[in-house]
Amino acid sequence: MVRLYFLRGQQGQTKIGLAVGKKLTGAAGRSRGRRVLRESARRLLPWIMDGVWIVLSLREKALKSSAVSVYADVASSLKRAGLIGSGWDGPDWRGDG
C-alpha cells in the first residue's frame, strides 16, 4: 500500500517526507492520505534509526484502506528495510509507545 524510499546519510536528524499523487484522487482524498501517512510516521518515529531520510508514497489501493492497515504496511516496510531500531515491539495501533 505504501512505497518506501530511503537514503542512509550521516548520523544526524531523521527526516520524513510524504507523497500522495494528484492522479490518485481529489483534494479531500489526498488530505486524508497525508494525514494517515503522517500519523503512521509519528507513531513509528521513536524507533526509526537516526540519520535516515525517508519518503513514504501512498499507492491508490491504500486510499480505500483503513488507517490501521496503512500503519501496519508502513511498519512492515520499515522493518524489512532495517530502519527500525531495537526495542520495537511490533506494529500496535492501540499503543503510542
Query: HEC string of the chain?
Result: CEEEEEEECCCCCCEEEEECCCCCCCHHHHHHHHHHHHHHHHHHHHHECCCEEEEEEECHHHHHCCHHHHHHHHHHHHHHCCCECCCCCCCCCCCCC
Most confident of 7-21, 32-46, 81-95: 32-46
Check if the beta carbon of residue 36 is closer than 8 Å to that of residue 63. no
pTM: predicted TM-score of the whole model, two decimal places: 0.85
Architecture of domain 2-79: 2-Layer Sandwich (3.30)
Model confidence at 16: pLDDT above 90: yes
8 A C-beta contact, residue 14 and residue 46? no
Share of the chain above pLDDT 90, in %: 45
Cell of 37: 501517512
